[in-house]
Amino acid sequence: MPADPPATDLAEAVNDWFADAARPLPWRAVDVSPWGVLVSEFMLQQTQVARVIPRWHAWLERWPTPADLASAPPSEAVRAWDRLGYPRRALWLHRAATAIVERHGGEVPRDLDDLLALPGVGPYTARAVAAFAFGARHPVVDTNTRRVIARAVLGQEHPGPPSTTRDLAAMGALLPAADAAARTFNAAAMELGATVCTARAPACESCPIAAGCAWLIAGRPEYDGPRSAKQARFEGSDRQIRGLVMRELRAAHRPLTRAELDATWPDASRLDRVIATLVHDGLAVAGPDGFALPES
């Protein structure tokens, strides 16, 4: 196997490339608040950038601060989330905004432990906000970053199943010492994986670190190691039924009876089960008049 590319050379090359290649994503602008960064990180989870951009703009226009969102009922957050998917993220973002108001005077905290203590904020989101909103030197690892490291450093086509401890250590070993360069590299590695070092059709001829890429030097061998579990197909799944029920609840602005929800899915027992999961997750509330979005 070829020698690993020196971490400093790899980071510098990727950062230099990023200076011209970075997409002008709105949450990357210098005047974006930490709240804007936090909202973007919630929205970008398992959702394509193109779908997030208009929703992010609309959200911040309506709720430019955590206090603005916290003062609104959770039902409005779920409605505004619209069809971004995984609407529990809207509830968690609302709860995070409430916690920011109650614990931090309405300002997104910069300390990693304080961020991790916010509802709905996990290790990735906390590190991303600390790094991108406040410039703190923390490794930030997403799926794209893991793929870049797997290919450039490990010589593997795919990174295999994620491991928070292993992935953070691998990124930490590449992270520049200076805070500003580290912040840039976190974003640049993600961008490289999203736009050049893609999963199915990597553009190796356009890659700024191709000359030192262990996978490319090895002849781009096919990956034969363990793989992450694939998500079940959407059509006919409980996720699809949840989406159909949530669409009706968002549009109604009043409780809907169980009979009114019959049209969403023909299998009554599955529909009952899905409605029960929505109630359990806090996305729907059962009352004497039927089912509605949560108001508190």
Task: Note whether 118 and 100 are within 8 A (CB).
Answer: yes
**Cβ(64)–Cβ(73) under 8 Å?**
no
- 15, 39: one domain: no
pLDDT for 160 equals 87
The amino acid sitting at 1 is M
Give the integer Cα–Cα distance in Å for 33 and 11: 26
Residues 119 and 178 in one domain: no
- Residue 231: its pLDDT value, please? 67
Instruction: Show the tokens assigned to 10.
Output: 């790899």
Task: Say what the pLDDT of residue 74 is.
Answer: 96
Could you tell me if 192 and 204 lie in one domain?
yes
The total number of structural domains in the chain stands at 3
Give the domain range for residue 270: 238-292
Give this prediction's pTM: 0.89
Q: What is the DSSP letter of 256?
A: B
Shared-domain flag, residues 7 and 89: no
Residue 174, helix vs strand vs coil: helix
The DSSP H or E segment spanning 285 is strand 285-287
Question: Do 145 and 19 share a structural domain?
Answer: yes
Angle, nearest 10°, between helix axes 179-195 and 123-134? 120
Note whether 121 and 170 are same-domain residues.
no
Q: Do 36 and 129 reside in the same domain of the chain? A: yes
Set 12, 41, 61, 205: catalytic member: 41
Q: pLDDT at position 4, please?
A: 47
Q: Is 227 left (phi over 0), alpha (psi -120 to 50) or beta?
A: beta
The tens-digit pLDDT sequence of the chain (296 residues) is 444 456 678 999 999 999 999 999 999 999 999 999 999 999 999 899 999 999 999 999 999 999 999 999 999 999 999 889 899 999 999 999 999 999 999 999 999 999 999 999 999 999 999 999 999 999 999 999 999 999 999 999 999 899 999 999 999 999 999 999 999 999 999 999 999 999 999 999 999 999 999 999 999 999 887 776 666 787 888 989 999 998 999 999 899 999 999 999 999 999 999 999 999 999 999 999 999 999 98
Query: Is 222 one of the annotated active-site residues of the chain?
Result: no
- Select from 204, 230, 256 the last residue of a domain: 230
Q: Amino acid letter at 128?
A: A
